[in-house]
């Protein structure tokens, strides 16, 4: 016989826990936007602090940074989107010819495939039509609204950073302020350093892709370079996905040219994975490769592409929490945290001005 007694306080706490879980599930899309805004806040905070330390009002500094970001993104989209539309039209027009060329190449190695006939019979209108077109349209609108929301939230968070800092310090026990500040600095360096490091790798792959395509005479080299920079944001597979469009475009010039483009971009993938990324990030993330892979797989399974993009910052935050617990067990007052911040200005003189 099992006898279970629950106090009124226990019942209240259980009810609050259930309601909190229900609210978390319902508000999860909003929380993802807020978390993403905090990530961008951590990445841009050093630049805001640098401008404020040189006499610029905080609001003006934040708006100036975001105006520059908006101008850069708009310029990149202007370079990429029209060229991608032209490439799609060329692929649709020349697909039977490309299929015949590929069919001849396969026939030389003993592979029989009716690629030209399949290309001629392919219906492009069936790719996105009916309810699928409406669904994709809704996703595009939702994505644009989400990006705008993140943009606005990041602006508000950066402008109100001193006020948010003072509010957070109200809940810190007396005498624990240095420890709390060290934790915040570690989180900022880890998350912000990851975002800024990702910008560096995106710029590198864009410059390399542009140089390769320009040397090999592939059209729309600038547009494919910009596309490669954006695709590189996706961990592990982004650099590989960035090779597909330029290889297809190079195939329109010649199969040999496409093969050289493929080889050159695959070589860069190995260079980025084995040399560039460890040099840029250094000890910022300090995550074993297995943890990186598991974090990306888990993030993709739980939240799709959003989870893939947020997996590494989340894993890095978990590493900071683990280091904090280990330091506490060892008797240290505060975690050491990462020492380097890639592409961040030197703010040693202004570090104490945010509180």
pLDDT score of 282:
60
Helix (H, G, I), strand (E, B) or coil at 285: coil
CA 189/CA 281 separation, integer angstroms = 11
Give residue 316's pLDDT band: very low, low, confident or very high (50, 70, 90). confident
285 against 251, higher pLDDT: 251
Report in angstroms the alpha-carbon separations of 48 from 40, 199, 352.
12, 17, 14
Share of the chain above pLDDT 90, in %: 15
Mean pLDDT in residue range 61-65: 93
Which residues fall within 8 angstroms of residue 20, CB to CB, at 6 or more apart? none
- Tens of pLDDT, residue by residue over 65-121, are 999 999 999 998 898 888 888 877 777 777 777 677 777 776 766 666 666 667 666
Name the least confident of 89-103, 138-152, 158-172: 89-103
pTM over 0.95, yes/no: no
Task: Determine the length of the chain.
Answer: 355
Nearest to 270 by CA among 240, 225, 293, 313: 240
Helix (H, G, I), strand (E, B) or coil at 176: coil
Find out whether 203 and 229 touch, Cβ atoms under 8 Å.
yes
213 against 193, higher pLDDT: 213
- The two structure tokens encoding residue 153: 């939230």
pLDDT score of 352:
47
Report in angstroms the alpha-carbon separations of 129 from 105, 137, 312.
33, 11, 36
Name the least confident of 19-23, 218-222, 231-235, 295-299: 295-299
**DSSP label of 286:** -
**DSSP label of 173:** P
CA 345/CA 332 separation, integer angstroms = 29
Report in angstroms the alpha-carbon separations of 334 from 180, 324, 328.
8, 7, 8
Q: What are phi and psi of 155, to 5 degrees?
A: -65, -50
CA 213/CA 80 separation, integer angstroms = 15
CA 225/CA 218 separation, integer angstroms = 11
Find out whether 298 and 307 touch, Cβ atoms under 8 Å.
yes
Enumerate helices (H) and strands (E) in the chain, giving the number of each.
14, 0
Q: What are phi and psi of 7, to 5 degrees?
A: -75, 165
Give residue 220's pLDDT band: very low, low, confident or very high (50, 70, 90). confident
CA 266/CA 299 separation, integer angstroms = 25
For the chain, domain boundaries? 28-119+137-343
| Mean of the per-residue pLDDT values of the chain | 80
CA 171/CA 184 separation, integer angstroms = 14
**DSSP assignment of 241-280, as one string?**
HTTHHHHHHHHHH-HHHHHHHHHHHHHHHHHIIIIIHHHH
- The two structure tokens encoding residue 182: 């060290």
């Amino acid at each position: 016989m099992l006898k279970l007694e629950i106090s009124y306080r226990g019942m209240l706490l259980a009810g609050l826990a259930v309601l909190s879980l229900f609210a978390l599930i319902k508000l999860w899309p909003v929380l993802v936007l807020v978390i993403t805004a905090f990530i961008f806040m951590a990445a841009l905070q050093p630049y805001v602090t640098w401008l404020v330390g040189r006499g610029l009002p905080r609001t003006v500094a934040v708006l100036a940074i975001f105006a520059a970001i908006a101008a850069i993104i708009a310029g990149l989209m202007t370079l990429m989107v029209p060229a991608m539309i032209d490439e799609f039209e060329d692929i649709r027009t020349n697909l039977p010819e490309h299929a015949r060329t590929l069919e001849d190449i396969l026939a030389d190695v003993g592979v029989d495939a009716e690629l030209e006939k399949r290309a001629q019979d392919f219906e492009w209108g069936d790719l996105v039509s009916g309810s699928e077109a409406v669904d994709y349209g809704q996703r595009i609108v939702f994505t644009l609204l989400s990006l705008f929301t993140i943009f606005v939230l990041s602006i508000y968070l950066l402008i109100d950073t001193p006020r948010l800092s003072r509010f957070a310090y109200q809940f810190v026990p007396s005498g624990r302020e240095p420890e709390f500040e060290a934790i915040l600095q570690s989180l900022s360096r880890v998350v912000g350093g990851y975002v800024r490091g990702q910008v560096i790798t995106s710029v590198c792959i864009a410059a390399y892709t542009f140089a390769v395509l320009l040397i090999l005479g592939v059209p729309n080299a600038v547009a494919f370079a910009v596309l490669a920079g954006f695709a590189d944001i996706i961990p592990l597979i982004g650099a590989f996905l960035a090779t597909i469009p330029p290889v297809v475009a190079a195939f329109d010039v010649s199969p040999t040219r496409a093969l050289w483009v493929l080889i050159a971009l695959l070589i860069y993938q190995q260079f980025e994975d084995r040399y560039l990324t460890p040099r840029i990030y250094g000890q910022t993330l300090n995550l074993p490769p297995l943890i990186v892979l598991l974090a990306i797989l888990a993030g993709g399974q739980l939240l799709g592409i959003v989870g893939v993009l947020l997996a590494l910052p989340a894993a890095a935050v978990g590493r900071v929490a683990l280091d904090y617990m280990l330091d506490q067990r060892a008797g240290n007052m505060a975690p050491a945290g990462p020492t380097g911040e890639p592409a961040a200005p030197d703010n040693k003189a202004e570090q104490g001005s945010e509180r």
